[in-house]
Amino acid sequence: MTLPDWALQLGYEGLDRGLIPDFIVRIAIRALLRQQLREIDHGSLEANNAAKMAWIKSVKQRTCIADVPEKSNEQHYEVSHSLMTYYNALEAF
């Protein structure tokens, strides 16, 4: 079972707002990990290893590390104004 995009988006919005209890987050993480394991399973140890080696080879042939560096930079520097205000107030003491 894969989660539809709308369900993931709804979940992410709930996480950002702190509306989702911890036990539900843990259930969702386990479900996503099971899904990921199913997606990367190629049926045998040899097939899994061959797929991993092919992926490593493709990564080594890339010309850049990040596919969309603008997006990663945007996410990396995403800090709320209220957090910075709180931090600055703590430093004042």
Q: Measured between alpha carbons, how far is 28 from 30 in angstroms, rounded to an integer?
A: 5
| Residue 93 forms part of a structural domain | no
Tens of each residue's pLDDT in the chain, 93 residues: 567 889 888 988 999 999 999 999 999 899 989 999 999 999 999 999 999 999 999 999 988 877 777 777 676 667 777 877 887 888 876
| Residue 87 forms part of a structural domain | no
| Residue 25 forms part of a structural domain | yes
pTM of the model: 0.52
Q: Measured between alpha carbons, how far is 51 from 57 in angstroms, rounded to an integer?
A: 10
| Residue 89 forms part of a structural domain | no
Phi and psi, residue 17, nearest 5°: -90, 0
| Residue 19 forms part of a structural domain | yes
Q: What's the domain range around 53?
A: 5-67
Report the domain count for the chain.
Answer: 1
Torsion of the alpha carbons at 6, 12, 14 and 18, rounded to the nearest 10: 180
